[in-house]
Amino acid sequence: MEMQWLQHGEPLPGLEARGPYADGVAVFVTTGDGRRKPELGYDADGRAASPRERELLAAALGLDGSRLVFMEQVHGGMATAVDESAAGAGVESRATAVRGADALVTACGELALVGLSADCPLVALWDSDGAVCAVAHAGWRSTTAGIVRQTVEAMVRLGARAERIRAALSPAIGPCCYEVQSDLVEAMTSAGAAREEDFLRREGRVYLDLGAAVKKQLIDSGVERERISGAFACTMCGVGQFHSYRRDGARAGRQAMGVRLRAGR
Ligand SMILES: [Zn+2]
């Protein structure tokens, strides 16, 4: 697994970490230390909740905070390619984030693409040969809208080849906790976004393994199974490590997953 999981510059315990840029790419996810969790999201007014923690995150990747790029994340299926001109989008406020996007794709090594989540899986993707990377926000609505395929296709348009792409899934709400209702089951299965085996039935309730559905979409989009890795930690169970909307409701913060190509490529 050639990737780097960082907690403000420190490897995340329990996940395999190699040197930054081992594969021409750095991938990071933020996590709490058991007592407090960094808050990478926005406050109720749409301003960065903790500009300081965003700066720390950027510094861990050797970048200034103004080189981060955030997206609006509207639970849709749109992947947007960005270049230098997007630097700083969404850094100070959600109003300036890349409009309408649930995935960002770039060939620019001087940017770090950032996704925010409090339960939804985030996916970092990269083709170091093609020098293209991406981050996708793959909640159930975006997954149903085809965000994974849209992201891979946008990467291919920038020079990636699907069979060379590596993908890493962030921690997300797991099938231990993600109880869903029949309307979600119907929406995802009728769109071909989840299979019967992605739904687990226990004591009359239905639970979704969204990570498995996302993985299937990656494979269906041409990404090889052995090139997909991930942290299968559950955000709702990980009280001291992760933010969870299911657990904490409107007061939940956000963790971040980001990806950056090696600078100067
Ligand atoms: Zn759980």
- pLDDT band (50, 70, 90) for residue 31: confident
Domain boundaries, the chain: 6-261
**Please, what is the end-to-end C-alpha distance for the chain in angstroms?**
22
Ligand 1 center–CA 236 separation, angstroms: 5
* Ion ligand 1, residues whose Cβ is below 5 A away: 174, 176-177, 234, 236-237
pLDDT of residue 258: 86
74 against 24, higher pLDDT: 74
- What gap in Å lies between CA 51 and CA 254, rounded to an integer? 13
CATH ID of 6-261, from 3.40.50.970, 3.30.1540.20, 3.60.140.10, 3.90.1170.30: 3.60.140.10
Q: Quote the CA–CA distance of 123 and 170 in Å, as a whole number.
A: 6
The Å distance, Cα 140 to ligand 1 centre, comes to 16
* pTM over the 0.75 mark: yes
Which residue is associated with the tokens 């299926």?
Answer: 77
Q: How confident is the model at residue 246 (pLDDT cuts 50, 70, 90)?
A: very high
Mean pLDDT of 181-199: 97
pLDDT in tens, 87-119: 999 999 999 999 999 999 999 999 999 999 999
Q: From ligand 1's centre to the CA of 103, what distance in Å?
A: 25
Least confident range from 41-55, 126-140, 200-214, 224-238: namely 224-238
Higher pLDDT among residues 117 and 20, named by residue: 117
Q: Where are the alpha helices (DSSP H) in the chain?
A: 51-60, 140-144, 147-157, 182-190, 210-220, 245-248
